[in-house]
Amino acid sequence: MAKMWEGRFSKALDTQADDFNSSIHFDCRMFRQDIKGSMAHAAMLAARGIISQADADAIIPELENILQDIESGKLAIDMTAEDIHMFVEAELTKRLGDVGKRLHTARSRNDQVAVDIRLYLREEADGIIEMLKTLLDAILHQAKQHKETIMPGYTHLQRAQPITFAHHLLAYGMMFTRDIGRIQDAVKRMNCNPLGSCALAGTTYNTDRYMTADALGFDGITLNSIDGVSDRDFCVELLSAFATVMMHLSRFSEEIILWASWEFKFIELDDSYTTGSSIMPQKKNPDIAELVRGKTGRVYGDLMAMLTILKGIPLAYNKDMQEDKESIFDAVDTVKQCLTVFPPMLKTLKALPENMLKAAQKGFINATDLADYLTKKGIPFRTAYKLVGQTVAYCIAKNKVLEELSLAEYKEFHELFEADVFEAISLRRCVESRISAGSTNLESVETQITYIETFI
């Protein structure tokens, strides 16, 4: 395709340099945003008398036609165009002649691309938030069934204290509610109209940037034209929020992989979310969870790429910034792919409460409760803690667990032990008596469920 800017040059751009320079292969996905931005711009130009109403009346419906033609497949995007902005303008001019050539008055591709990315990200961010809600729904679906399913809670991957499966799942639920908040916060700051900043310094035309802001659903306008075209910190913020979503998904995936192993066997993944091996007939592999964990690295990479693209470029626009889009698109695609498969995988997995309970019965996970038992009878916590440490060592030597000691053996450690000690260290009691706000008890779990429901 001929270059719009060829007047200045005596020679065509080298073919390979042209390919290298072009962004149409990836920015073609922003055709909708680009056309909507142009429609708003044309309407504003006419309202301000910068172009005639008759021209706007020709341009706007023709842009709509172009949009529909691309959507219906009637019009193929020309991959020899430099970018989507050039393609849309060239197509308009092809259809309208000189009238089409008036559209780019009081505008630059620099503010155009800044608008397009914002509109694109706003829409994708909304979609990702909806997907996160579906994930929260899957978490609640499992949590509601397992409010009283006891499992070991871990620190250092060592059995620590008894918790419920619901409490564990809801911890992830809380993380994903904050992910929603992070995305919403970033969108709020991003939702400012850069259109009208033009190349960098604004324009000599008496434009109305508030009018295009309104038409495009922005909350306001960028107040500095250089900032308007140079800023991509909203991309950094959103990529960072997406990377955090992936980090949470990856941690969750890691646990699902562990839980599905024969060593844990806390869950059984549904056949529709597992794969077999080409050689080992017995295998049932958690590939989906592993891939989510693996893809996390890409999104971290996208964030790093964006930060690095921006770190050394002077104001205002530099061609380096064209690289912003591939990072954004890759992160958006990856997060969406993961959020498509993860929630149903979670929803369809089957918890195995007997195995969880069996694991909870080993590892002295009620030792803190035994110390608390003595503390509540007046023994200072540190003393009780040491005594229980000795009791555990004694159990290990005898190959017993705390529940298996006799009252007489307990009395050897301290005379304040009574028959009620067995009830105090029963796993169910350990869970129920964690009464502090936000703990693993049933009422707290129900409060958490109610809270998360407000996000859905």
CA distance 33 to 120: 6
Size of the site for ligand ARG (CB under 6 A): 10
Residues 306-325 within binding reach of ligand ARG (CB under 6 A):
317, 319, 321-322
In this complex, which beta carbon is closest to ligand ARG, that of residue 87 or of residue 252? Answer: 87
User: Up-side HSE of residue 377: CA atoms within 13 Å toward CB?
Assistant: 15
Q: Tell me if 109 contacts ligand ARG by CB under 6 A.
A: yes
Helices (H) and strands (E) in the chain, counts: 19, 6
In this structure, are residues 221 and 227 in contact, taking their beta carbons and an 8 Å threshold? no
In this complex, which beta carbon is closest to ligand ARG, that of residue 226 or of residue 247? Answer: 226
Q: Tell me if 240 contacts ligand ARG by CB under 6 A.
A: no
Neighbours of 133 (CB within 10 A): 17
**Could you give the residue numbers annotated as active site?**
156, 277
Helix (H, G, I), strand (E, B) or coil at 326: helix
> Which region, judged by CB under 6 A, interacts with ligand ARG, from 33-41, 53-61, 107-115, 405-413?
107-115
In this complex, which beta carbon is closest to ligand ARG, that of residue 110 or of residue 177? Answer: 110
CA distance 245 to 205: 44
Q: Tell me if 119 contacts ligand ARG by CB under 6 A.
A: no
CA 447 to chain CA mean position, Å: 25
In this complex, which beta carbon is closest to ligand ARG, that of residue 209 or of residue 232? Answer: 232
Of 145, 168, 150, which Cα lies nearest the Cα of 347? 145
Q: Tell me if 113 contacts ligand ARG by CB under 6 A.
A: yes
Least distance in Å: CB of 85 to ligand ARG?
A: 6
Helix (H, G, I), strand (E, B) or coil at 420: coil
Site mask for ligand ARG (CB under 6 A), range 69-98, x = bound: --------------x---------------
In this complex, which beta carbon is closest to ligand ARG, that of residue 113 or of residue 256? Answer: 113
Give kind and range of the element (H or E) at residue 310. helix 287-311
Token pair 């564990």 is found at: 168
Two structure tokens written together for 302: 């996208």
Q: Tell me if 30 contacts ligand ARG by CB under 6 A.
A: no
Residues at the contact surface with ligand ARG, assessed by CB under 6 A: 23, 27, 83, 109-110, 113, 317, 319, 321-322
